Amino acid sequence: MINIKIKIIKNEEGNTVGQFITNSKNHKSIITCCSTLISTKPSTVLIENNTNNIIKIVKARRSLEKIKLLWLHSRLQKEISGAKTLNRLGFKTPRIFEQGIAIPFTSNNLGYYIMENLTLTGMREAEVVFLDKKTSPELRQKIIITICDGLLELYRNKIVFTDFHLGNVFSDINGNLTWIDTGVTKYHIKKKRNQKFIKSTARFLNYYGDTFFLENEKDLLLELIKSASKLDKDIR
C-alpha cells in the first residue's frame, strides 16, 4: 500500500499556504500554524508555532521550475543540496529537520524545508549587524574577511554563490558565520565561472548603495575579485 504523508501548512490567519508530500517520519498528516516572517516573490519564510523552527516555502517563479522538480534540479532541491555541499567544505548552515515537495497543481509552490531558527541561537543577520550603529569596525571587518575567505574557498571548488548579500549570512557576536539561502551553482567552464563571480561580487559591493561599506571593506571585496581571477590560473 502506498503511504503518502501529507503536510498542510497554514499561516497565522488559518489560511492554507500549501500542501506538501513530506518526508516527516513522525506524522501521517500534520497541520501546522505559523506566523509569517517574510513573504516575497521567490519564497515565504514562516516561524512554526510551538517549535519556533523556520519553515521556508520556495515558490515557482516560472512554470519550468516545477518541471525541474522531476530531475531534482529545482531551486528547492538546489538550496538543500547546496547546504550539504557547503557543510562538506566546512561551512556552517542551519540544521534541516524535514523537507517536502508541493502537491502538483494545488499552488505555485515548489516545496518547503524546516530548519533551525538561527535567531534563537543568538545569531543575527549580517545585514542587521552592519545596520546597527553600535557594531564595531573590527567586527564588521572580521565578517567581511570571513565572507571573502568563504566565497574564495567556494570558488576554489568551482562554486559561485550568485545571490550573495548580507541577508544570506548570519553572524554571532564574534563574527563566526552561518550561511543560509544556499542555492549555489557549480560552474565547470572557467570563463563562465569567472564572469559569474565578478558579476555577483560587484552586485554585492553595490547592493546597499555607495556609502554602506567602509573604504577598507570595499578594498577587501575588490581584492577578492582579483584573488579569484588569480586562482583561475591554478584551477583546471
Ligand X SMILES: Nc1ncnc2c1ncn2[C@@H]1O[C@H](COP(=O)(O)OP(=O)(O)O)[C@@H](O)[C@H]1O
* Residues near Mg ion, by CB under 5 A: 168, 181
Contact between 205 and ligand X by CB under 6 A: the answer reads no
Beta bridge partners of residue 200, listed in sequence order: none
Binding to ligand X (CB under 6 A) within 56-95 occurs at 56, 94
Minimum distance from CB of 127 to Mg ion (Å)?
10
- The window from 8-16, 36-44, 130-138, 222-230 that contacts ligand X (CB under 6 A) reads 36-44
Minimum distance from CB of 62 to ligand X (Å)?
15
- Calculate Rg over the CA atoms of the chain: 19
Pick one of ligand X, Mg ion, none as the site partner of residue 48 (Cβ within 5 to 8 A by kind).
none
Residue 73's contacts (CB-CB under 8 Å, 6 or more residues apart) are none
Residue 119's contacts (CB-CB under 8 Å, 6 or more residues apart) are none
SS3 sequence, 122-153?
Answer: CCEEHHHHHHCCCCCHHHHHHHHHHHHHHHHH
Identity of the residue, 115 or 228, whose beta carbon is nearer to ligand X in the bound complex: 115
Binds ligand X (CB under 6 A): choice among 37, 152, 198, 231: 37
Pick one of ligand X, Mg ion, none as the site partner of residue 43 (Cβ within 5 to 8 A by kind).
ligand X
Quote the CA–CA distance of 171 and 144 in Å, as a whole number.
Answer: 11
Pick one of ligand X, Mg ion, none as the site partner of residue 46 (Cβ within 5 to 8 A by kind).
none
Quote the CA–CA distance of 209 and 168 in Å, as a whole number.
Answer: 17
Quote the CA–CA distance of 77 and 112 in Å, as a whole number.
Answer: 10
CA 103 to chain CA centroid, Å, is 23
Identity of the residue, 58 or 159, whose beta carbon is nearer to ligand X in the bound complex: 58
Identity of the residue, 180 or 228, whose beta carbon is nearer to ligand X in the bound complex: 180
CA 126 to chain CA centroid, Å, is 13
Q: Map residues 109-128 to x or -, x wherever contact with ligand X holds by CB under 6 A.
A: ------xxxxx-----x---
Residue ranges of E strands in the chain:
6-10, 16-22, 29-39, 43-48, 54-59, 96-102, 109-115, 124-125, 159-160, 169-171, 177-179, 185-186
Identity of the residue, 7 or 56, whose beta carbon is nearer to ligand X in the bound complex: 56
Pick one of Mg ion, ligand X, none as the site partner of residue 158 (Cβ within 5 to 8 A by kind).
none
Binds ligand X (CB under 6 A): choice among 19, 33, 36, 42: 42
Total residue length of the chain = 236
Minimum distance from CB of 175 to Mg ion (Å)?
20
* Residues engaged in binding ligand X (CB under 6 A): 37-38, 40, 42-43, 45, 54, 56, 94, 115-119, 125, 167-168, 180-181
